[in-house]
Chains A and B, each alone.
Chain A
């Protein structure tokens, strides 16, 4: 068994690809430099991350595959799933090796696996866009806590700064403890030393705008009223709006 060890960064991964082509060797596993080496390891190659090499691989890749495929690879990386680096390695390796585009070859297990992970991360983005709930604070900033399955906050930032261009807002990822603050001009990354919200994602009452609770009440009442009792179908509701999103949903509290 052959292993590459690297720093587990995306640039590092691209350097692994570089090394594989340069030395004509492919890894069976990718390890972090500090990882304990498994038994039965025959060879291990330490890969050093060099931005020059990674940039060369990336620009070659951009020529080889379409922009949408590049975007897909980025989202697959963001998934942070175990062994996703090896999957990406194989995808990129195959893309370079193949004389024709592999992007639509869904008969290939790696291509299909990438497409499926991409779909999941994309769905996570979409869920964030759907289920963000802002609370208006006394200083006029609209605040929303989220805890998405994947680290998608930066991916959805543009949607919110476009849509809510005339209101300052903060979207805060409580799981990863960082957030984005939009001040009508630009979006910046922020971190609070202690969580600004309680477990149900609520700000303290004194932090809220005087009308905030009334609007929350209206939304809750509206939500309850809209259900047609002859058609109750809780399973369908959960299918569209999984329970793990409920904790920050005003109408489900």
Chain B
């Protein structure tokens, strides 16, 4: 039975959980052969979008906002004066089920403040997911945070129930982490990450021997970094991200523009607005790493430690390498076509298949979905009167391509007042 008190807890613990960016429900496809409740769609389903434009896919919630730590960037830190509440495992499991049955959500994203010690907290969280899987026979998606410092045994147990496990790095260098969260260290983050990785590897081996072995964390792991709270450059952030992607099971690194929650802490910059444009550029760079075969040092390096905020990282790279262009879309290999600004993965694939039937014109490119406004300076196709980056200077083109929307977005963000 739900009670009115649940409503209050829900508000407090949702409010405390909302700063975690990860929301993806992708990575696992699972039918429902036993005719219980729930499936998982490999492509992920967003069920709603909040006023900030972020999606609600999973029911993102904290077990409790009690916390033994005092991290400068966190709203739940010990020294903040706020009402502390906790869900009982049964209560939270029931709420998840009822939300799921109404098609509000795709599954549960369970996180928690740390009570008593990391292992105790993990045990509490495991009892929620265990209840869901065993008592409610819930077959939908579950993403659980692994508490930094939790033991390998508990990580292994959790991994048998959930689709995704994640540990947040939060701060891109250990030095800054020490400053903002003196009670934490990188080891407590790396260790669970390693446990998850090991668990997945062992499970893959077991599954080769016994096909029926249940899967361990089938959707892999993810992590998150706060951007703009500490002085790290984009170079440092993206280099760390690309190292993380070397871990096979690491599916996503999320970037979270720092929001100045704790007003009275002088270790943190007093930003009026979260660095949304920078965050956006980091995600674009992240995409270049994952889907466009870019190496991290091509995007940022010692000479260019920060991403260009006015143009996207692909344009920025292209303008630094005019010698790579123009690309002939009718002959160039896929890898080269991917590097043309304005051409995405889908349109690149379409170009490759469509050009077998005949030489492509700029009109056809446009129809295929290529953003000609950007692409026209970097390509040749059958006919195209525009001068390319080599005839016009990179500086001139840069001026043409400055993202008007970014300016608009800023204006939009400032003018709005929240009720």
A interface, CB within 8 angstroms of B: 102, 104-109, 112, 126, 129-136, 142, 144, 159, 162-167, 211, 214-215, 217-219, 221-223, 225-237, 239-241, 249-251
- Are B52 and A237 within 8 A (Cβ)? yes
Q: A112-B368, A167-B37 provided; 14 other pairs, C-beta below 8 A?
A: A104-B356, A105-B357, A107-B354, A107-B357, A166-B36, A221-B11, A223-B48, A223-B50, A227-B50, A231-B53, A231-B257, A232-B51, A236-B49, A237-B52
- Are A226 and B101 within 8 A (Cβ)? no
- Are B416 and A234 within 8 A (Cβ)? yes
Alpha-carbon gap, A217 to B259, bound state (A) = 28
Alpha-carbon gap, A187 to B66, bound state (A) = 47
What is the CB-to-nearest-CB distance from B116 to chain A, in angstroms, rounded to a whole number? Answer: 27
Alpha-carbon gap, A162 to B41, bound state (A) = 11
Alpha-carbon gap, A223 to B364, bound state (A) = 43
Q: Which residues of chain A have C-beta atoms less than 8 A from B160's C-beta?
A: none
Given A230-B259, A231-B274, are A221 and B53 also a contact pair (CB < 8 Å)? Answer: no
Tell yes or no: B15 within 8 A of A by CB: yes
Tell yes or no: B7 within 8 A of A by CB: yes
Interface of A, secondary structure class, is helix
Alpha-carbon gap, A226 to B32, bound state (A) = 30
Given A134-B103, A164-B101, A167-B101, are A227 and B51 also a contact pair (CB < 8 Å)? Answer: yes
Given A164-B37, A227-B51, are A240 and B46 also a contact pair (CB < 8 Å)? Answer: yes
- Are A108 and B357 within 8 A (Cβ)? yes
**Between-chain CB contacts (< 8 Å), 28 pairs:** A104-B353, A105-B357, A106-B350, A106-B364, A107-B360, A130-B45, A130-B47, A134-B102, A144-B103, A166-B35, A215-B99, A215-B102, A218-B99, A219-B102, A223-B48, A223-B56, A225-B18, A226-B50, A228-B259, A230-B259, A232-B418, A234-B53, A237-B49, A237-B51, A240-B46, A240-B55, A250-B104, A251-B48
- Are A221 and B10 within 8 A (Cβ)? yes
Number of A-B residue pairs with CB-CB distance less than 8 Å in the complex they form = 169
Q: Which residues of chain A have C-beta atoms less than 8 A from B2's C-beta?
A: 211, 214-215, 218
Tell yes or no: B6 within 8 A of A by CB: yes
What is the CB-to-nearest-CB distance from A190 to chain B, in angstroms, rounded to a whole number? Answer: 19
Tell yes or no: B273 within 8 A of A by CB: yes
Alpha-carbon gap, A250 to B409, bound state (A) = 28
Q: Which residues of chain A have C-beta atoms less than 8 A from B409's C-beta?
A: 233
What is the CB-to-nearest-CB distance from A214 to chain B, in angstroms, rounded to a whole number? Answer: 6
Q: Which residues of chain B have C-beta atoms less than 8 A from A131's C-beta?
A: 47-48
- Most A C-beta atoms less than 10 A away, residue of B31, B45, B60, B357: B357
- Are A132 and B53 within 8 A (Cβ)? no
* Binary contact track B13-40/A, C-beta < 8 Å → 1, others 0: 0110011000000000001100111110
- Are B14 and A222 within 8 A (Cβ)? yes
What is the CB-to-nearest-CB distance from B54 to chain A, in angstroms, rounded to a whole number? Answer: 8
Tell yes or no: B84 within 8 A of A by CB: no
Alpha-carbon gap, A223 to B10, bound state (A) = 11
- Look across to chain A and name the residue whose beta carbon is closest to the beta carbon of B357: A105
- Are A165 and B32 within 8 A (Cβ)? yes
Q: Which residues of chain A have C-beta atoms less than 8 A from B98's C-beta?
A: 211, 215
Alpha-carbon gap, A108 to B354, bound state (A) = 9
- Are A217 and B7 within 8 A (Cβ)? yes
Alpha-carbon gap, A165 to B35, bound state (A) = 5
- Look across to chain A and name the residue whose beta carbon is closest to the beta carbon of B38: A163
Q: Which residues of chain B have C-beta atoms less than 8 A from A233's C-beta?
A: 51-53, 409, 412-413
What is the CB-to-nearest-CB distance from A66 to chain B, in angstroms, rounded to a whole number? Answer: 13
Q: Which residues of chain A have C-beta atoms less than 8 A from B355's C-beta?
A: 107
How many positions in chain B have a CB within 8 Å of any CB in the partner chain? Answer: 62
Alpha-carbon gap, A228 to B56, bound state (A) = 13
- Look across to chain A and name the residue whose beta carbon is closest to the beta carbon of B261: A230
Contact among B53, B59, B99 for A239, CB-based, below 8 A = B53
- Most B C-beta atoms less than 10 A away, residue of A136, A228, A236: A228
Q: Which residues of chain A have C-beta atoms less than 8 A from B353's C-beta?
A: 104-106
- Look across to chain B and name the residue whose beta carbon is closest to the beta carbon of A252: B48
Given A129-B45, A218-B95, A222-B14, are A236 and B53 also a contact pair (CB < 8 Å)? Answer: yes
Q: Which residues of chain A have C-beta atoms less than 8 A from B18's C-beta?
A: 225-228
What is the CB-to-nearest-CB distance from A223 to chain B, in angstroms, rounded to a whole number? Answer: 6
Tell yes or no: B367 within 8 A of A by CB: yes
Given A133-B104, A232-B416, A233-B52, are A107 and B364 also a contact pair (CB < 8 Å)? Answer: yes
Contact among B47, B52, B99 for A232, CB-based, below 8 A = B52
What is the CB-to-nearest-CB distance from A131 to chain B, in angstroms, rounded to a whole number? Answer: 7
Alpha-carbon gap, A211 to B412, bound state (A) = 40
Contact among B39, B54, B367, B418 for A162, CB-based, below 8 A = B39
What is the CB-to-nearest-CB distance from A236 to chain B, in angstroms, rounded to a whole number? Answer: 3
Given A108-B357, A232-B413, are A142 and B45 also a contact pair (CB < 8 Å)? Answer: no
What is the CB-to-nearest-CB distance from A189 to chain B, in angstroms, rounded to a whole number? Answer: 20
- Look across to chain A and name the residue whose beta carbon is closest to the beta carbon of B349: A104
Contact among A107, A240, A249 for B358, CB-based, below 8 A = A107
Alpha-carbon gap, A124 to B264, bound state (A) = 48
Q: Which residues of chain A have C-beta atoms less than 8 A from B86's C-beta?
A: none
- Look across to chain B and name the residue whose beta carbon is closest to the beta carbon of A142: B101
Q: Which residues of chain A have C-beta atoms less than 8 A from B257's C-beta?
A: 231
The 5 closest A-B pairs by CB, nearest first: A236-B53, A104-B353, A227-B50, A231-B52, A165-B35
Q: Which residues of chain A have C-beta atoms less than 8 A from B41's C-beta?
A: 159
Alpha-carbon gap, A79 to B184, bound state (A) = 56
Q: Which residues of chain A have C-beta atoms less than 8 A from B356's C-beta?
A: 104-105
Alpha-carbon gap, A142 to B50, bound state (A) = 24
What is the CB-to-nearest-CB distance from B48 to chain A, in angstroms, rounded to a whole number? Answer: 6
Given A163-B32, A228-B19, are A249 and B48 also a contact pair (CB < 8 Å)? Answer: yes
Q: Which residues of chain A have C-beta atoms less than 8 A from B45's C-beta?
A: 126, 129-130
Contact among B14, B37, B350 for A226, CB-based, below 8 A = B14
Alpha-carbon gap, A132 to B48, bound state (A) = 10
Q: Which residues of chain A have C-beta atoms less than 8 A from B259's C-beta?
A: 228, 230-231
